[in-house]
Structures are given as C-alpha cells and as structure tokens.
Chains A and B, each alone.
Chain A
Amino acid sequence: MTLEVDDLRVYYRTLKGDVQALDGVSFGLRDGEILGLAGESGCGKTTLGKALIRLDGRMKHVGGSVTLDGQVLPIGDDVKMNPYRFKQVSLIPQYSMSAMNPTRKIGRMVRELLESRREKLDLDELHARLDLVELPKDVLGKYPIELSGGMKQRMVMVISTLLNPSLLIADEITSALDVSTQKAVVTTLKGFRDRGFVKSMIFITHDISLTNQLADTIMVMYAGKLAEKAPASTVVNAPKHPYTQLLISSLPEVGVRYADKRLTGIPGNPPSLLDPVPGCRFRDRCPLAFEKCAEDPPPVEVEKDHVVACWKAA
C-alpha cells in the first residue's frame, strides 16, 4: 500500500458553523494504482485532494489519519508537511496557467524550487522528461508567458513529478481543456505512472467518462462521504450504489439520441453539509430509500475491491 486514509474528517470553518465537507472517508491506494475520484461539486473530492497535501486557512483537520509509505502525514500542520510536499506528495493544480511565477525564467524557477527542497537538479533527467512530453529543451530559458496554455500545463506536469513523488494529485486539471488536449494530458499522466515517475496517483474530476480512460479504480463520493469504490470497469458497467447507478445512466454518449432514448437526471439537490441530519446523505433523492436509511450506511466490501456504502447493496 502506498497510501492509507483512515476515517479522515476535514471541516470548513464558516460564519454559520462547520461545513462537514469530508466526513469519515477511508480508502487505500496500492503501488502503481491510479485512483479516479469522481463526484459532483460539493461532494468533498477537492477537499480530500487538498487534505492530502495542503489544507487552506479555512479548513481544519478534525479526525482520522493519512499514512503514506508507512509514515503518518502531519496533515494538520502546515509547516511539518513541508518536507513531504513535492518529494512524497505532489500536486498538479487546476489552473496551471497561473501556477508559475511570471517574473522567473522557467529553468531558474525549477532550480530554485529544488534548492528549497535541498535537492540537486539532474539536468539530463529534466531534459529527458521534457522530451517525453514533447517540450523543447529551450523552454527552460523562457518566461511562462511565452508558453501556450497546453505547454504550460505539460511543464507543470513535469515539474510536479520531477522528484518522483509517491503520490501525485491531479485536481480537475482537464476541465478547462479541449477534448483533444484532454486526451493528450491523460495519456501523459498514464505514461508517468508506467515509467515509475510517480508511484500512485489520485485523479480528481467530475467527468466519469474521462476518469474511466485512465483510472484503475474509481471512487465515487457523495456529500462528503464515500459512496462506492470499485475497479473502473465495475463502476461503469455494474455499479451497486443507487447514486452511481443513476449518475452513470444520466450520461449521454455519442450515439445516444434524445429522440430514441430519453435519459433522466437525479431529481433534487445534495444536502447542506452544515449540520447534516444523520443517516444516508443520499436518501432524499434515492428511489430505493427505506426506514433503515435513517442510519448511516457503513462502507462494506461486497466483493473483492468493491466497497459500497448502502444498506440495499450490502
């Protein structure tokens, strides 16, 4: 196991009280595994991604632990996390366009970044990796503004994986990209894993069709909790949680026409996570809900590697 997350709870502080954005999520990540983290806005997927590398000022670590390569990460302590960032856990931010300092040449920025981590720059390795993402060597002598959006995205991907981190987190990195660029980015990420630049990866997106192109395992979250986690093909073809089932069946595919087959969405909205009522958080929208759903459904491994948090599925 590269990563083990156990009953992780991270809340957001607001004026009205704590928003329970991530409320008791447990999962593991094997060496070489790519986990697709899917869900709608507000489901806690971004909170989970951030919790593994950097909590922002409004987030607080309420409970649970994160273990990476046998070491417990001090995720609640911004300063103590520093030695782990970039070396053990790395992040590709959503807006890579603005992630680079505009006043530094890229090569210098990379060197400074490595120095701040007390690492030597292996220039040959850097060149090899630039080659791999089809960037010319001379980008190192350029300012970020001289690169196109796609080039910046690839540059950030190279930088964040330069120290071969154990865990790479990619948070919605493709949502602003065109379909053809999306494909290139996803293929590159897969290549990074296959070459061992990163041991394991969490790919966060709202797009299940895209996740399925890359991920070995897909974890679906709903309202701050794990709903279902299974091998990608199982989630797509034989989901067990009613939310996953409805979600998958609402996705249009090329070839599906409104006139022939009318798809339907899920009525209702996710619950407020400010003081949520106990019990299954999907039950207001769930067609299968019954009395038992007033109790919290625990995640249960219904078959090997297939975890579902639903009374009906267990």
Chain B
Amino acid sequence: MKAEALYFAIRNTKLLVGAGIILVLLGIGVIGPFFIDKPPTEYVGMQMQPPGGEFWLGTNTFGQDLWAQFVHGLRTTFLVGALGGGIAAVIGMVVGFLAGYKGGWIDEILNMLTNIVLVLPTLAVLFILNAYIGVRSAGMQALFIGLTQWPWAARSIRAQTFSLRGRDFVDLARLSGVGSGRIIMREIAPNMSSYLLLTFILLFGGSILIASSLDFIGLGPTDAVSLGLMLQQAHQWSAMHLGLWWWFVPPGAGITLIVGALYVANVGLDEVFNPKLREL
C-alpha cells in the first residue's frame, strides 16, 4: 500500500507543484530570518525605496525593510497556520473519534456541541473575543482560530469512524480484550491516516486565511509581523495611492500562493490516496 502511494505521489504533478511551492516558502520563512540581523520593524533606510539591490523588496513609508518584514511575516503566517490547524485537528479528532466510536448519548452530546460551534458566526465571535480579551500574540490568535475551526473536521471524522466501527476487525479487537482508546488509536485511526492528513492540510490553509483576515481588519498580534499585518499597514498608509506596489503585492501574493498551493497539493494527495481519482 505504502509503496503504491509513493509510486503515484512522485508522478502526481499537482502534488509536486503544490508541495514544492509550500516547501520553498516555508524554507524562506524558516531560514530567512537568520540572515537578517535587524528586527523587521526597525527603520533601516530611505523611505519609499523601490525594490533594488540593497532592499530586495524596497522600503515602506517609514523606511522599514519590506523583505525583512516579508520573511518574518511568512514565518508567523506558517506558525499560526500550523498551530491553529493543529489545534483544530486535535479537537476535531478527539470529538469525531469519540462520537463515532462510542455512539449513544456521548455521540448526541458531542454532536450537539459540534453543531453549536458550527453555527457560531466565527468571525464575529473572534471580533468580540479580540475586543475584550485582546489578542496580542500570534499564539493566542492561533488558539482562537483552532477553537473555532474544528467542527466540520469532527463531523467528517465521526462519519468515517462510524462506518469503520462496523467492520469485523473492530469486533475482533474487542474480542481480544482491547479497550476503546486503543481500538480507536490502533485499529481505526490507521485506516484513515490519509484522510486525517488531508483534513489537517485543509485546516492549515483555512487557519492562514482566517488569520490574514483578522490581521487585515486590525485584530492581528502586536508582537509580530505577519503577511496579513503587512497588508493591513499598506492599506492603512495608502500604499495603493502612493503607488508603493512593492508594499502590498508580496504579502498578498504570499498568502495566495500558500493557500492556493495547499489546495492544489490537497487535490493531488486526494488523487494519490483515492484510486478512483487517479488519472491513468
């Protein structure tokens, strides 16, 4: 099975292109900051410099290095995506596995909880939470996103668990005296590993998008630079009117590339795992 998936994986252009873009951007975000000795918010030079040899992406109206901001922003954006997506995936899995495997009243209670969070107007809640508690760090932002994004993942994992629970090998594990937790972790989850990976990728992309929107409307972290915050500042200081395209195009393209590449890779992975979608 594994070898077969690999065979199709290295032949799937969608997956290769998507994963390639993500890896390059991730590489810039992870390694890039080590090559920039000054903090990204420091005023380093001339104001409103177009891209050039000294400042690769130019400077903004304050004379801040936009390449430094972009590189740090990428890092924050990936961090928020991974954390937010990760938290949502963990909650979604716990709720989905428990509800699907246990059934009965546990299922009903968890289902109710899922539905309540699902119909919450996420953005409005985040707005209110931000206003009252104040999200001032990227970590807090990720936590809020994670806590609101899990319901659909929980629902689909529940449905899959429910169908796997009826398979004879689960009954056989029960006949071997194995407990529920171990059955979920060691019998059911391995059968949906590919699906869980896809779920995480989608949650990852979703978190980045939400984080960027929050940043853009001014609810971003104050202790970091992110691609969304760059966009927000560019907007706030009329970069468009001043013709400073190098201020808003890179962060905008960065977000679009990350999210787009994630979806393309996701479609590719889906084809790899799902024989019905494979193009022969």
Chain B, residues 4-17, CB within 8 Å of chain A (1/0): the string is: 10010000000000
A15 on interface, CB distance cutoff 8 Å: yes
List the A residue with the shortest CB-CB distance to B7: A15
A15-B7 Cα distance, complex, nearest whole Å = 10
Interface residues of A in 1-33 (CB under 8 A from B): 13, 15
Of the candidates A13, A15, A57, the one whose C-beta lies within 8 Å of that of B4 is A15
Q: Please report the total number of B residues contacting A with Cβ < 8 Å.
A: 3
A13-B280 Cα distance, complex, nearest whole Å = 11
A13 contacts across to B, CB distance below 8 A: 280
A169-B4 Cα distance, complex, nearest whole Å = 35
B4 contacts across to A, CB distance below 8 A: 15
A57-B4 Cα distance, complex, nearest whole Å = 19
A13-B275 Cα distance, complex, nearest whole Å = 14
A91-B4 Cα distance, complex, nearest whole Å = 34
A57-B275 Cα distance, complex, nearest whole Å = 13
Q: Please report the total number of A residues contacting B with Cβ < 8 Å.
A: 3
Chain B, residues 244-280, CB within 8 Å of chain A (1/0): the string is: 0000000000000000000000000000000000001
List the B residue with the shortest CB-CB distance to A13: B280
A13-B278 Cα distance, complex, nearest whole Å = 14
Interface residues of A in 166-197 (CB under 8 A from B): none
A57 contacts across to B, CB distance below 8 A: 280
Shortest Cβ distance from residue B44 to the other chain A in the assembled complex, whole angstroms: 56
Shortest Cβ distance from residue B242 to the other chain A in the assembled complex, whole angstroms: 57
Interface residues of A in 40-94 (CB under 8 A from B): 57
B280 contacts across to A, CB distance below 8 A: 13, 57
A15-B280 Cα distance, complex, nearest whole Å = 10
A57-B7 Cα distance, complex, nearest whole Å = 20
Chain A, residues 108-141, CB within 8 Å of chain B (1/0): the string is: 0000000000000000000000000000000000
List the B residue with the shortest CB-CB distance to A58: B280
B7 contacts across to A, CB distance below 8 A: 15
A15 contacts across to B, CB distance below 8 A: 4, 7
List the B residue with the shortest CB-CB distance to A57: B280
List the A residue with the shortest CB-CB distance to B4: A15
Shortest Cβ distance from residue A57 to the other chain B in the assembled complex, whole angstroms: 8
Shortest Cβ distance from residue A62 to the other chain B in the assembled complex, whole angstroms: 18
A1-B2 Cα distance, complex, nearest whole Å = 50
Shortest Cβ distance from residue B272 to the other chain A in the assembled complex, whole angstroms: 14
List the A residue with the shortest CB-CB distance to B3: A15
A15-B4 Cα distance, complex, nearest whole Å = 9
A70-B257 Cα distance, complex, nearest whole Å = 61
A13-B4 Cα distance, complex, nearest whole Å = 15
A280-B280 Cα distance, complex, nearest whole Å = 34
Shortest Cβ distance from residue A281 to the other chain B in the assembled complex, whole angstroms: 27
Shortest Cβ distance from residue A306 to the other chain B in the assembled complex, whole angstroms: 42
Shortest Cβ distance from residue B167 to the other chain A in the assembled complex, whole angstroms: 18
Shortest Cβ distance from residue B6 to the other chain A in the assembled complex, whole angstroms: 12
A203-B7 Cα distance, complex, nearest whole Å = 40
Shortest Cβ distance from residue A58 to the other chain B in the assembled complex, whole angstroms: 8
A13-B7 Cα distance, complex, nearest whole Å = 16
Chain B, residues 168-202, CB within 8 Å of chain A (1/0): the string is: 00000000000000000000000000000000000
Shortest Cβ distance from residue B118 to the other chain A in the assembled complex, whole angstroms: 27
Shortest Cβ distance from residue A20 to the other chain B in the assembled complex, whole angstroms: 19
A259-B24 Cα distance, complex, nearest whole Å = 73
Shortest Cβ distance from residue B280 to the other chain A in the assembled complex, whole angstroms: 8
Interface residues of B in 205-252 (CB under 8 A from A): none
A57-B276 Cα distance, complex, nearest whole Å = 11
A25-B280 Cα distance, complex, nearest whole Å = 28
A124-B7 Cα distance, complex, nearest whole Å = 57
A82-B4 Cα distance, complex, nearest whole Å = 35
A255-B280 Cα distance, complex, nearest whole Å = 53
A15-B6 Cα distance, complex, nearest whole Å = 13
Shortest Cβ distance from residue A12 to the other chain B in the assembled complex, whole angstroms: 13
Shortest Cβ distance from residue A177 to the other chain B in the assembled complex, whole angstroms: 22
A49-B206 Cα distance, complex, nearest whole Å = 48
Chain A, residues 197-223, CB within 8 Å of chain B (1/0): the string is: 000000000000000000000000000
Shortest Cβ distance from residue B75 to the other chain A in the assembled complex, whole angstroms: 41
Interface residues of A in 124-165 (CB under 8 A from B): none
Shortest Cβ distance from residue B7 to the other chain A in the assembled complex, whole angstroms: 7
A15-B8 Cα distance, complex, nearest whole Å = 11
Shortest Cβ distance from residue A125 to the other chain B in the assembled complex, whole angstroms: 39
A57-B280 Cα distance, complex, nearest whole Å = 10
4 shortest A-B CB distances, which residue pairs? A15-B4, A15-B7, A57-B280, A13-B280
Cross-chain pairs A/B with CB under 8 angstroms, 4 sampled: A13-B280, A15-B4, A15-B7, A57-B280
Q: Chain B residues in contact with chain A, CB under 8 A?
A: 4, 7, 280
